[in-house]
Amino acid sequence: MRRRTKFHINPKHVLIAGVILCVGFLGISFRFGEQLAPVRSAVGAVFTPMQKGINIVGTFLSDKLDNFRDINDLLDENKDLKDQINVLTYENKMLLQDKYELDRLRDLYVLDQKYQDYPKVAARVIAKPGNWYSVFTIDKGTKDGLAKDMNVLAGNGLVGIITECYYNYSIVRSIVDDKSYVSAMFLKTADTCFVQGDLQLMDQGKIRVISISKDAEIEDGH
């Protein structure tokens, strides 16, 4: 079996040969410039369109790469803006909640000043087992000093009466419920009456007042 002979070429020799060839081509081009002009023209005719095509492709790819970078930047910016919106939305909800709590405390203060001569217990509505205008549950009961048939006030006046009172909660029947029937008094004349619930009148913003004395000195607006 014949062994293959390995040839090793010194890199220095390759470099020297390349330099010699380049110098030779330069000399030939300088010496025979006019004779080689058609060759240069033919080579230029072939490679110039190729160079233009390469430039066009390179420009296209460069533009696409820039667009891709711009899209990534916009996506990152959009994510940051969404995060900021979420934070601002949460802060806005907290501010609205604080405002609601402040308004509620102001209403309670006004109510307390309006009925200074009566003992009062602040309570929250915690459940609506039926229609809001029918019955609801508050978070105060016998342990807070409440009892059945006590009045429940809110805003500008009476809103209901306690019908069931337990240790830590109470059931309140709304003043406008058809089953409600409580005593009342006209503030301007001190004449007494009874307020009876009426869901139909409620839609008109009114309540039914009965058992008014025929000698009562009342008029519209009292």
3-state helix, strand, coil in the chain (%, to 5): 50, 15, 35
pLDDT of 139: 93
CA dihedral 93, 156, 120, 103 (to 10 degrees): 20
In a domain, 132, yes or no: yes
Average pLDDT estimate for 122-130: 80
Q: Are residues 139 and 181 in the same domain?
A: yes
Domain that holds residue 188: 121-210
d(CA 105, CA 99): 10
Q: Are residues 92 and 171 in the same domain?
A: no
Output the average pLDDT for the chain: 77
> Which of 82, 114, 146 marks a domain boundary?
114
Tokens, residue 14: 């390759």
In a domain, 172, yes or no: yes
Q: Are residues 156 and 199 in the same domain?
A: yes
pLDDT tens per residue across span 51-92: 666 777 778 777 777 788 888 888 888 888 998 999 999 889
Beta pairing class for 192-196 and 181-185: antiparallel
pTM: 0.46
Q: Are residues 157 and 75 in the same domain?
A: no
Q: Which of 178, 177, 148, 143 is nearest to 163 (CA)?
A: 148
d(CA 97, CA 92): 9
When divided into structural domains, the chain yields a total of 2
Tell me the angle at which helices 33-114 and 11-31 cross, rounded to the nearest 10 degrees.
110
**Does the pLDDT value for residue 149 go beyond 80?**
yes
pLDDT of 32: 58
Window from 11-25, 98-112, 165-179 with minimum mean pLDDT = 11-25
Q: Are residues 95 and 19 in the same domain?
A: yes
CA 32 to chain CA mean position, Å: 80
Q: Are residues 206 and 164 in the same domain?
A: yes
> Which of 93, 114, 135 marks a domain boundary?
114
Tokens, residue 136: 């609801």
**Residue 183 banded pLDDT, cuts 50, 70, 90:** confident
